[in-house]
Chains A and B, each alone.
Chain A
Amino acid sequence: MALYRDQAVVLRTHKLGEADRIITLMTKSHGRLRAVAKGVRRTKSKFGARLEPASHVDIQLYVGKSLDIVVQVESIENYGDVISADYQKWTVAHAILEGGERFTNNEHEPATQQFLLITGALKALAHQSHDPLLILDAYLLRSLSIAGFAPSTADCSICGEIGPHKYFSLVGGGSVCPRCKPSASATPNPATLQLMGDLLSGNWNRADLSEVKSRREASGLVAAYLQWHLERGLKSLPYVERNVFTTESAI
């Protein structure tokens, strides 16, 4: 029987029949794929707990006729417990996991960069390394970048004229100079574009010091840019908790 082993992050799970689950995985070397985990909803085997969304696992799979079958699972990092105990982190994690599905076009197509982005983002989220919303926007911007849609945040994305420029265009690919700018362009605060650039390049020292105002504006631009490039956008994005929580605001 054909077996293979890989590292993977569980993106989502679906119930299958009476006691099984279909597990959607983002693997390090075999791309995104779905596999069947048998009996995980009924038994007390730790199998089920290891195959929850956001689990980083070492997994062994058996090549099945349509879907592969989970043979063995060892936990590498279990981010789920920490993340599910914090509602904002939980909603951010969902957007990242959904991104893993949406930024990869086909199953079994190697997507190691996307795998590394997801594990990196989940780790930062679980360890509270940065503001969860910054982690999300960094993940989304870098995923767009891998997909070939990195928005320019300084130089003009059309003629290349050295920036920063005043205008930002979804259609035009980000920052645009006054000569190239399409008619519908935003004029974000310069600090916002700098933050987006920092998130893309991984300049966390500066990103962590950014103001709430810039973070909000950057999130808005990232969401709009994502909607433009990813058909239908991300389902989870509207559920991401953006405001400081109060009982009244939740109702």
Chain B
Amino acid sequence: MYEGVIGQLIDQLGKLPGIGPKSAQRIAFHLIQSDRIEVEELVEVLRTVREKVKFCQICGNVSEEIECRICRDPRRDLSTICVVEESKDVVAIERTREFKGRYHVLGGAISPIDGIGPEQLRVKELLARLANTAIVEVIIATDPNLEGEATATYLARLIKPMGITISRLASGLPVGGDLEYADEVTLGRAFEGRRNLEF
């Protein structure tokens, strides 16, 4: 529809998650009409974020260091791991101040229809952590939807033979929703009321 560089910009923006063609167009024209300095700031931050931000070697969370802030913190409880789908879920749970252990970020949920199986997630890394350290409890905090439930089912079955307590966040979270949208109170309660998974 649009030729040349504007068309390219719209195409690139349209590749971003949650951005359809109309939004891409709107953002493109917003950028074209924006202050030059603002656009340069955006370009700069995009460049640095790609250069600087890596994934924590221990938990897979986003981090500017080899190990993330939470994994480096000596006050965190080393006996508990909370398994989440994405880094943004770590942020949501940290807001509740309910959890004192460390995290493990899977990088998504199991969804064969999208070509995502256990091998595409950081499952092997999780098992390695559980085998090598003194973990007593694993809390599975995948999203309260079917992919999240199925991923929890899969992980629980893997971890159970290792003699580690496995729990799942209590219900009360909006079913079919995203963990990141749960408010602090609900999410905090879900932690307190977590239930052991029996398989």
Identify the A interface with B (CB < 8 A): 12, 15-19, 40-44, 46-54, 80-81, 83-87, 90-91, 94-95, 97-98, 235-236, 238-240, 245, 247, 250-251
Given contacts A17-B23, A84-B150, A85-B149, contact A41 B176 (CB under 8 A): yes
Determine if B74 is an interface residue (Cβ-Cβ < 8 Å): no
In the complex, how many angstroms separate the beta carbon of A233 from the nearest chain B beta carbon?
12
Identify the B interface with A (CB < 8 A): 17-18, 20, 23, 110-115, 117-118, 124, 127, 145-147, 149-150, 153-154, 157-158, 161-162, 174-178, 181
Q: Are B174 and A43 in contact (CB under 8 A)?
A: yes
A235 to B114, CA, bound (A): 7
Q: Are A87 and B113 in contact (CB under 8 A)?
A: no
Q: Are B18 and A18 in contact (CB under 8 A)?
A: yes
In the complex, how many angstroms separate the beta carbon of B168 from the nearest chain A beta carbon?
11
In the complex, how many angstroms separate the beta carbon of B121 from the nearest chain A beta carbon?
12
Inside 8 A of B176's CB, which chain A residues have their CB?
A: 40-41, 47-52
In order of increasing CB-CB distance, the 6 nearest A-B pairs are A48-B176, A236-B112, A239-B112, A49-B175, A94-B112, A84-B149
A50 to B127, CA, bound (A): 33
Inside 8 A of B124's CB, which chain A residues have their CB?
A: 251
In the complex, how many angstroms separate the beta carbon of A79 from the nearest chain B beta carbon?
10
Q: Choose among A17, A47, A84 the residue that contacts B146 (Cβ–Cβ < 8 A).
A: A84
User: What are 17 A-to-B residue pairs whose CB atoms are below 8 Å?
Assistant: A12-B113, A12-B114, A41-B177, A48-B175, A49-B176, A53-B147, A81-B149, A84-B147, A85-B153, A87-B157, A94-B112, A97-B113, A235-B114, A236-B113, A239-B112, A240-B112, A250-B118
Inside 8 A of A90's CB, which chain B residues have their CB?
A: 110, 146, 150, 153
